[in-house]
Copies of this chain bind each other. A is one copy, B any other.
């Protein structure tokens, strides 16, 4: 089965749009999705930015909020800008890496995005993550120990470095097994079509 890497950042609004539709689209295309959570912070930092470009360039930020609201309405999913943007996604990304190993990354990812962009929750809040993890019938204490071990911390750093090495500069991004890179929720269908050709 052809494969497509889904590179996403939990604080990213456009990653939310893709996370909420990638599974049915991938199933219809016969492509399997490899979840690749990473952090945009270090990549933005390397470009000289200390926050999201949507904060640095206010006209772009205002447009983004309106654009996402329109797209979400068209797709029948809820959306509200959460208090505080971008949120700190470090803990959620580490938990997602545990989910990659254990097979629950897809529902965890959707739940984190929904908590943030549909319910306005703070995803850096331990209690928010606890609720999400327990709703997946998982042991939160066990996962907390796992993400505090050096292994997961290092893997998230390596994954972010790999994103940078691939030339990724935003999220979501999609990478086929032949290394073809697509950026943005708007390119998801095209990325799936290219993955099928790979």
Check A169 against B47 for contact (C-beta < 8 Å): no
Whether A183 is near chain B, meaning CB under 8 Å from some CB there, is yes
Check B47 against A183 for contact (C-beta < 8 Å): no
Residue in chain B with minimal CB distance to A43: B59
- Selected from B67, B74, B169, B182, the residue in CB contact (under 8 A) with A57 is B169
A70 to B182 Cα, complex, angstroms: 10
Contacts of A74 in B (CB 8 A): 190
Given A57-B169, A70-B190, A190-B70: A181 in contact with B47 (beta carbons within 8 A): no
- Selected from B60, B170, B184, B186, the residue in CB contact (under 8 A) with A169 is B60
Mark interface residues in A60-71 (1 if CB within 8 Å of B CB, else 0): 101100110010
Using a CB–CB cutoff of 8 Å, the interface residues on chain A facing chain B are 47, 57, 59-60, 62-63, 66-67, 70, 74, 167-170, 181-184, 186-187, 190
Contacts of A62 in B (CB 8 A): 167
- Selected from B57, B59, B183, the residue in CB contact (under 8 A) with A63 is B183
Contacts of A167 in B (CB 8 A): 59, 62-63
Shortest Cβ distance from residue A191 to the other chain B in the assembled complex, whole angstroms: 10
Contacts of A67 in B (CB 8 A): 182-183, 187
Contacts of A63 in B (CB 8 A): 167, 169, 181, 183
A168 to B62 Cα, complex, angstroms: 11
Given A66-B181, A181-B66: A59 in contact with B169 (beta carbons within 8 A): yes
A100 to B105 Cα, complex, angstroms: 54
Residue of A63, A70, A186, A187 with most chain B CB atoms under a 10 A cut-off: A63
